[in-house]
Chain A
Amino acid sequence: MSAGPYNYSYIFKYIIIGDMGVGKSCLLHQFTEKKFMADCPHTIGVEFGTRIIEVSGQKIKLQIWDTAGQERFRAVTRSYYRGAAGALMVYDITRRSTYNHLSSWLTDTRNLTNPSTVIFLIGNKCDLEGQRDVTYEEASKFAEENGLMFVEASAKTGDNVEEAFLETAKKIYQSIQDGRLDLNAAESGVQHKPSQPGRNPLSNDQQANKDNCAC
């Protein structure tokens, strides 16, 4: 087993950004642990999470950097954008101010990442329909105008959380397939691993059987 015992072929780096309190850490936690973290303390720093997913039969390891949203940390968190293949930009549908700040987050993302970075806009807390402050249509239009992928999600119920992370990965993977994302380029945010996939006991490789057969 000299090929190395990785059971994933790619590593994608993600960052999660957006105003304080929009639920970035909860989204990460929901995605990695499938649990809602009530009373989540403000992130003072950059949390780290990882999960292996599968896209088109390829195992991909996501390594996700969840940044502090407080304005005073903005200058510091900027240094984490570098080399991100995916950026999840989060606002809170019940607080318009968090939506209004999106353009500034977007500017940072565009300036600090490379053009192939997939930016996914997430309107979090969609379980709080009664307190909605930003309409779906409005955000959808914003996303469209800026070429962002968009979904409304809830870290609490888990709605669309999985989708947002997976769709981002699919898009990145597509970019690799299309050759738009150059794996050799510095800071592409993607690493390719010489995968040595384990034999799946369910895969029925008739050809392999034949090869081993003395008939």
Chain B
Amino acid sequence: MLAVHRDVVNIVQAKFLSAEIVRSIHLNVFTLEEIWSNDNRILALVEYNKSFALFVLISSKIKPSCISDLSIETVTPVDEFFSCDTEPLEDTQTNIIFIITYKKIKRAFKIEIGLESSNFASEVIRSKELSLYNKPNFVWLDKYIGTMSIPSRSSDIEQDDIPITRHQIAQGQTSINRESMLKYHLKLKEAEYTQKQEFTIFVGTWNVNGQPPTISLRDWLSFDENPPDLYAVGFQEIDLSKEAFLFNDTPREAEWHKYVTEGVHPKAKYKLVGLARLVGMQLVVMVNSQHYHYVRNISVDTVGTGLLGKMGNKGGVGVRLDLHNTSLCFVNCHLAAHVEEFERRNQDYKDINARMNFRRSPQAIKDHEQVYWLGDLNYRITDLTTTQVKTLLLRNELPTLLKADQLNQQKERGNVLLDYQEGDINFQPTYKYDLYTDTYDTSEKARPPAWTDRILWRGRGIYQVAYRSHMDLRISDHKPVSALFKSEISVVDPIKYRKIHEDLLKKMDKFENEYLPQVTVDQTEVVYDLIKFREPQSREITIANTGMVPAEFEFIRKLDETSYCKDWMRIVPYCGSINPGEKCDVKLEVNLEMDLPKLYDILVLHLKGGKDMFIIVNGECQKSSFTASISLLCRISVPVMKVPDDQWKIADKGDSNVLYSVPRELWLLIDYIYRHGMKTKELFESSALHEEIARIRDWLDFGSLDPFPGTVQAAAETLLLFLSYTKDPVIPYELHDNCIAAASNYQNCKQIILQKVPDLHRNVFLYICMFLQELLKHQNDNAYDAKTLASLFGDILLRDQIRNSKPQASRGKSNFVYNFLVNDLSSSIIPPK
């Protein structure tokens, strides 16, 4: 294996189980058939327990960098039905066609000629040889059948014109190659829904030497007792005129066609299937009309190989058809003349094969299941004089003569009609006779007799039952030849076919469902311990890909929601991709910063192209004075944790009496700072331990009788936190603009505070300001000035609605608060108890 591909081999290997070993790969493979998408492909030869299979993978990148770049398109077991071959590619020396054939299925790929291709091809050929010795078992391939046809790119798929959100599956992703897969599998299963039925095929060939038809063809075409099912009758030299040669137009076509129609077996009715003619070559294919219904995909083509290598004085004409489920091809040829031109004849044969194109699948002659090759092949008897030939003929020493037959010689050497068969020749050479006689050429030229007129075949299930000449037809210098075949034709059993077709569809549906992305989550209900203010908790869920394809997951938002989760939740990661067999841990973190009795939500975990799962997150919250409203805190007589629920509810609605002019918790914090921290430098700037703040929070919420559990700095920070998280800000949101506008004028500011701010909030505001004024009295010790404090508290007392948003009007808020730090407040104060 090439070292440069080692990394790619590892990626390809990841597509398979570890016991399924990637033996060889070939990159940059391109399909040559239109029915397959034009993607970059990789061929991979994979071995499992001495059985090999050839995988075609689609790679979304020229060189795949991860497993998700690859998808399996098809797999072919390397067994007795498998073969591979290479063919040169026209117009290029750098590339070659690599052909995989399996039963009737064939795929051709373009690959670059080089070390990689020769290594790969030899590995494949070696695996094929091994498969003949071992009895390979291919059950392991079953699981891949369903992974096939998954598209590599969703962009190939037509865009959805219905706004069904995120339902990409609606594109029918997995259906992209369904049709070709269906065809492929139907072909593989052909034996199950077809049965072989024997059809009689009459093949005839006659070089008529430019003579018009004047005699009945019955003695030739209706020679046998029973009517054949199919006729293929070929003529050569029906018209030797210049017009026919130059314009390919001749009245003889219709005449010979008419004579064929009249000459076919009287015991059956025949219908024309196809007629192909080029200059003097004509091929008429007719079918017993009872089978006409089962003939389809008829196509004809002609190839001239004569003058200039392309004129129609020599060449071949072909008719192809499907009879029931078997593809048949008949080729009538007239190859180059003259004894010494056997190589030209070989070339003509090759040209006909290369150039005949029926423009429907299968297009080439050799791709048909059954090919019948007939015509005036023009091969002569070589190295014997006319006299010698005639003498041997008189002694009936046909075998000696047949050894001298050029066609037999060339065929043996592999130069022509390589894999065709011919029946034993038991008839006299059919060329060249004096007209209207059975006498060999008596003219001056005295050409030696030859078997120029031949019928050969290629394909399975063809049995020749007769091969003969017809001496009684004497109008030409050739005698007509005919062969009768019993040929096995696959006949579709419609009931079985329908069943298999349906089963396949069902199977594909099933695969499609099974090969939807599948994951499991280890818990669908996530419960948190008691959730406390600003004490984040996280839980992990594990998403495991239990399916056969990479799963792309994403938490998605529900209808009418703005985000995929609530403000108090953080999901990390909230989207990602998991390969089959792998897992992903997702952290679900909650952090309570508002007044909620409990946290509850249903998260929707969506798989791209698949199902959705719901994950319930749930946790009870501990009550706290933080996040409670100022109004509530002023109405409860005891610490929040000791308040009975009903009292809490009434207080929360503002229906019970005001018991304190400012919240008890606020008073306790400020009192502690007042008593211990007025001279502390950087009182508000130092940051306390999280636990210390939690302790102070609990000390306040539970109404502990213990001494204050922290430093003055911690108390100061807790004070800021408390003011930052009260359910509503000290100065209601709707007044902020007014405050900012009034900031330059103390009287206006005072008016807002006295007239617009609710009583309890006004109390808190003035209480804080008085405390700050007290603090400023010690500014020689604590180094605070009014501006600094105003700026610090402005953003808190007039905090923005959306947390963490950049305070846009900080300066205005600061100026507003500043007024209350430098002016005498005594006229507005209701002092706390």
User: B36 CB to closest chain A CB, in angstroms?
Assistant: 9
Which of these binds chain A: B62-70, B293-301, B395-403? B293-301
For the complex, is B644 an interface residue (Cβ under 8 Å from A)?
no
Determine whether the beta carbon of A212 is less than 8 Å from that of B602: no
**Interfacial chain A residues near B510, Cβ < 8 Å:** 32-33
User: A28 CB to closest chain B CB, in angstroms?
Assistant: 10
**Interfacial chain B residues near A45, Cβ < 8 Å:** 524, 604-605, 611-614
CA distance A83 to B161 in the complex (A): 12
Determine whether the beta carbon of B509 is less than 8 Å from that of A48: no
**Interfacial chain A residues near B158, Cβ < 8 Å:** 4, 193-194
For the complex, is A79 an interface residue (Cβ under 8 Å from B)?
yes
CA distance A8 to B54 in the complex (A): 30
For the complex, is A167 an interface residue (Cβ under 8 Å from B)?
no
Contact with B along A141-182 (1 / 0, CB 8 A): 000000000000000000000000000000000000000000
For the complex, is A55 an interface residue (Cβ under 8 Å from B)?
no
Which of these binds chain A: B172-180, B579-587, B688-696? B172-180
CA distance A208 to B299 in the complex (A): 11
Determine whether the beta carbon of A202 is less than 8 Å from that of B611: no
**Interfacial chain B residues near A215, Cβ < 8 Å:** 272, 274-275
**Set A44, A50, A208, A213: member contacting B614, Cβ < 8 A:** A44
For the complex, is A196 an interface residue (Cβ under 8 Å from B)?
yes
Determine whether the beta carbon of B170 is less than 8 Å from that of A5: no
User: B484 CB to closest chain A CB, in angstroms?
Assistant: 25
For the complex, is A204 an interface residue (Cβ under 8 Å from B)?
yes
User: B581 CB to closest chain A CB, in angstroms?
Assistant: 21
CA distance A7 to B170 in the complex (A): 14
For the complex, is B665 an interface residue (Cβ under 8 Å from A)?
no
Contact with A along B151-189 (1 / 0, CB 8 A): 000000010111111010110100111111011001000
**Set B175, B183, B492, B616: member contacting A6, Cβ < 8 A:** B175
CA distance A45 to B180 in the complex (A): 34
**Interfacial chain B residues near A73, Cβ < 8 Å:** 602, 614
For the complex, is A101 an interface residue (Cβ under 8 Å from B)?
no
Return the chain B residue nearest A45 by Cβ: B613
Contact with B along A49-90 (1 / 0, CB 8 A): 111100000000101000010001101101100110000000
Determine whether the beta carbon of A201 is less than 8 Å from that of B325: yes
CA distance A210 to B410 in the complex (A): 40
Determine whether the beta carbon of B178 is less than 8 Å from that of A5: yes
For the complex, is B512 an interface residue (Cβ under 8 Å from A)?
yes
For the complex, is B366 an interface residue (Cβ under 8 Å from A)?
no
**Interface of chain B residues 471 through 530 with chain A (CB within 8 A):** 492, 494, 497-498, 505-506, 508-510, 512-513, 516, 524
Determine whether the beta carbon of A191 is less than 8 Å from that of B613: no
For the complex, is B610 an interface residue (Cβ under 8 Å from A)?
yes
Interface residues, chain B, with chain A CB atoms under 8 Å away: 34-35, 158, 160-165, 167, 169-170, 172, 175-180, 182-183, 186, 272-276, 293-300, 325, 360, 492, 494, 497-498, 505-506, 508-510, 512-513, 516, 524, 558-559, 602, 604-605, 610-614, 616
Pairs A–B under 8 Å by Cβ, sample size 13: A5-B177, A5-B178, A7-B182, A50-B513, A52-B509, A82-B559, A191-B160, A193-B158, A198-B183, A201-B186, A205-B296, A213-B274, A214-B274
Interface residues, chain A, with chain B CB atoms under 8 Å away: 1, 4-8, 11, 13, 32-34, 44-52, 61, 63, 68, 72-73, 75-76, 78-79, 82-83, 186-191, 193-194, 196, 198, 201-202, 204-206, 208-209, 212-215
Ranked 3 nearest A-B pairs via Cβ: A79-B559, A45-B613, A46-B612
18 extra A-B contacts, CB within 8 A, seeds A32-B510, A52-B509, A196-B179: A5-B178, A5-B179, A13-B167, A45-B614, A50-B516, A51-B513, A63-B167, A73-B614, A82-B559, A83-B164, A189-B164, A191-B160, A201-B325, A202-B494, A204-B296, A212-B360, A213-B273, A213-B274
